[in-house]
Structure 1
Amino acid sequence: MTRYWKPAALLAVLAILGMVGWSLAVHWRPSTQRFALQGIDLPMTSQRIEWGFVRAAGADFAYLAATAGTRQRKAEFESDWEALPEAGLRRGAVHLFSLCEPAEDQADAFNTFVPRTDDALPPAVDIDLRDDCAAHPDRAALLDAIRRFATRVETHAGKPVIVRVSRAAEREYQLTSAVNRPIWVMGNGMEPGYAGRPWRMWRASDVRRIDGVEGPVNWDVVAP
């Protein structure tokens, strides 16, 4: 005999399933057997971080957003940068690239703000379609700007830049196949397939919750 669910009972079951799914999502991270190196990356917005808890949650490294465009600098960057080695975490810095500001000026802003240290991870540049720039450059101009930014930063840091490309930026510009730098991709739960070649880093979750951090964290893994 077919059983029909009453609307209230069906809604209750769906709510329970939703809560279970959300609980799994906020605690999930990729297998450490496959991805031995894992860590977090922080946005430009402020978050209170207890780095010892982050290390205890399985992070090996942290990338900190440091600068954006030519003028924005994250206030907490310096204190977080100094705290990471004490917590046993490797440290790296990220620049949020503006499509409307000169590449060399952005590189200079990053280079003057982020200390050059031997223990630092390769610097990263984030390419996305942000609200700060309504008039997007054409593909050739953007590729040239990324190369000029990367060359200037690499000269300062002494390490190759890793390029983080959003799905939206890749859809509009097809950057990953043309930028001759390691690629960092983003996609919750499933390995993204939008890059034009194998990725070096993957932001696997932007909803994970761990002790010591207010709100969700961006959880990343390094390719085996």
Structure 2
Amino acid sequence: MAGGVIKAAAVLAGLAMLGVGGWSVATSWHPSATRYPLQGVDLGPNPGAVEWGTVRARGADFAYLTATIGATRRDPGFEANWAALPEAGLRRGALHVYSLCERASDQANAFNTFVPRTKDSLPAAVDIHFADDCPARPDRAVVVNELARFIAMVETHTRKPMLLRISKPVEAAYHLSAAIDRPVWAVANLFAPAYAARPWRLWRATDFRRVDGIDGAVNWDVVAR
């Protein structure tokens, strides 16, 4: 009996070690730098303190920062992080989280007022996903027209074409990548996505990578060659 208990405990310990090892591998994984030479991070709202020099040393070439959410919310850490990126040797881009519950013009004005136009910045990006705090599901024509208005206003400010980061559920519901001719930023953990109407330009390949210099899980992205 005792021998059986000891054996079972040893098996459980072995499985636990495999679990720890597997999680360590998963959190350090990123797509091959040989296949995708340009890689970087994107940060959600309120990311906390970031050691950008360390992030650069761990292989990031660029960083996208959440700047605005809807028509009224600004990320409090955006300005400090935006200013710190060039000194750390990273290219920088700003992202707006789009709301289906608010007017596109109000959202564009919020972004344009908050995000400076700089020659060195990457194209701005707009994130479209179904949010828990916004139950609205407008007709496709309304969504396409409003999003096109937002994009036109922001591009007038930045003077660069925007990236569309479209979640898979939103794409399935509205087929935005077919309606709006802009580069696609697709989202799928581990396996390259193919849900958009055109090939992706940017791919968020994992949202659970761990990188020195940032607390917690990191969104890691690669650029198509």
**TM-score, with length taken from structure 1:** 0.94
- SS of equivalent residue, structure 2 residue 200: coil
Deviations 1:63-110 (A, max 9, x none): 000000000001111110000000000000000000010101100100
Give the total of aligned pairs.
221
Aligned residue type for 1:158? R
Q: 1:3 maps to what in 2?
A: none
Q: 2:79 maps to what in 1?
A: 78
Q: 1:111 maps to what in 2?
A: 112
Q: 2:50 maps to what in 1?
A: 49
Q: 1:23 maps to what in 2?
A: 24
Q: How does 1:210-221 map to 2 (within 5 A)?
A: 210-221=211-222
Over aligned residues, Cα RMSD in angstroms? 1.6
Distance 1:8 1:170, change over 3 A: farther
Shift of 1:36: 1.0
- SS of equivalent residue, structure 1 residue 177: helix
Note the residue ranges of structure 1 that are not aligned, 5 or more in a row. Answer: 1-5
Distance 2:145 2:12 in 1: 53
Deviations 1:39-86 (A, max 9, x none): 100001332100000100111100000000000001111110000000
Shift of 1:8: 4.3
Bigger proportion of residues as helix: 2
- 8 Å CA contact 1:98–1:132 kept in 2: the answer is no
Shift of 1:169: 1.2
Aligned residue type for 2:147? I
Distance 1:215 1:120 in 2: 26
Shift of 1:9: 4.6
- SS of equivalent residue, structure 1 residue 211: coil
- SS of equivalent residue, structure 1 residue 185: strand
**TM-score, with length taken from structure 2:** 0.94
Asked if residue 171 in structure 1 is aligned to residue 172 in structure 2, the reply is yes
Q: How does 1:153-192 map to 2 (within 5 A)?
A: 153-192=154-193
Distance 1:161 1:91 in 2: 14
Shift of 1:161: 0.5
